[in-house]
Amino acid sequence: MLTRSEVRHALRSVGADQEALFAEASRLRDENFDRAVLLRGVIEITNVCRVNCDYCPMRRDNLGHLDRFVMSPQQILERAEHIRGAGIDIVLLQGGETPSLFPTLREVIPALRRMWDGQVEILLNLGNFSRRQYEELRELGANSYIIKHETSDPVLFEQMRHEKLDARLERIRTLLDLGFKVGTGLISSLPGQSLESVIDDIELVGELGVQMCSVSPFVPAPDTPLMLSPAGDLQLALNVIATLRVCYPGLLIPSVSALEKTSSGGQSLGLAAGANVMTSNFTGDANAERYLIYGKERFVVGLDHVRAVIDSMGLAVRGSAFLPEGAE
């Protein structure tokens, strides 16, 4: 683990210092994951959300500009067949936070396990539920869960999400306690964020003991209170990825679509900075166009794009790190 001063220096890296940082991060990624990138398939199952995040077009109060949808269990399973057909063993179900999803999950999770004969990682990114509900999801067969803290600054968190950071962190700890493999994530260059709070974000990853962490550069999205704010600094996001890799060599770190949205070739740069996960979108065109996480101009990551990016970096594709045959 780097000292706080060393982390600060890494986050400010440019030129030769940045090249050295990326080289060390890539070396550690290759050493821990055999020069391979985990490949996920995502289905975005709803854009309905109870939360009112200032940075997200799917926010609760965005009533007039968004065509809301909720996939049926049958629709989800039909899209999952495409993931299975692509030979992918990580199914990510992602969506806005809404309690009404739970009956769908009760039906879908066991069906997914049957579809893969049990050899599948079912990864959920669906926000806040109660401890008992998380426990039930684990019993149904979900392996892993993403619940991003977004920022470790409690004041900024409340300004952006209109909720308490402590409650969010408590859910992360609950998921870990229940045996989930857990991912968190942060938004870099979030308006009002300080470099010191980014250092706090990196330290928080270690304090929580999570297995995954994403880094997304801030994207000013239309129909949000932050739509006129400046776009996030791609170089800072890449430095955060690399610093996370150096601090936590075995961490799963995605090269997210927001990197590509920020700059063409951004996901390749994410891998160059030490990321080791990519996600291909299997939502289907009709609903992907309505899942406006970054607005209508979002970059929807297809399987051909993912494979081309991984190949261009001289890396291989691998399966889940959380199934027996994929365990590190």
Residue 67: the pLDDT is 83
**Two tokens, residue 102:** 């739970």
CB 233 within 8 A of CB 188: yes
Residue 324: the pLDDT is 83
Point out the least confidently predicted range of 207-216, 280-289, 293-302: 293-302
Look at residue 123 and give its three-state secondary structure: strand
DSSP state of 322: S
For residues 292 and 305, what is the distance between their CA atoms, to the nearest angstrom? 20
Beta strand pairing call for 277-281 and 90-95: unpaired
Band (289; pLDDT cuts 50, 70, 90): low
Residue of 174, 175, 171 whose CA lies nearest to 149: 171
Band (44; pLDDT cuts 50, 70, 90): very high
Asked if the model's pLDDT at residue 81 lies above 90, the reply is yes
Asked if the model's pLDDT at residue 14 lies above 90, the reply is yes
Cβ–Cβ contacts within 10 Å for residue 297, how many?
10
DSSP state of 285: H
Band (261; pLDDT cuts 50, 70, 90): confident
Asked if the model's pLDDT at residue 327 lies above 60, the reply is no
Residue 236: the pLDDT is 99
Point out the least confidently predicted range of 48-52, 168-172, 204-208: 48-52
DSSP state of 150: B
Q: How buried is residue 87: exposed, middle or buried, by Cβ count under 10 Å (0-12/13-18/19+)?
A: exposed
Taking the domains of the chain in order of start, what are their residue ranges?
4-314
The 10s digit of each residue's pLDDT in 83-121 is: 999 999 999 999 999 989 999 999 999 999 999 999 999
φ, ψ for residue 91 (rounded to 5)?
A: -105, 115
Residue of 30, 90, 91 whose CA lies nearest to 250: 30
Mean pLDDT of all residues in the chain? 94
State the SS3 of 200-219. Answer: HHHHHHHHHCCCEEEEEECC
CATH of domain 4-314: 3.20.20.70
Band (309; pLDDT cuts 50, 70, 90): very high
Q: What is the pTM of this model?
A: 0.94
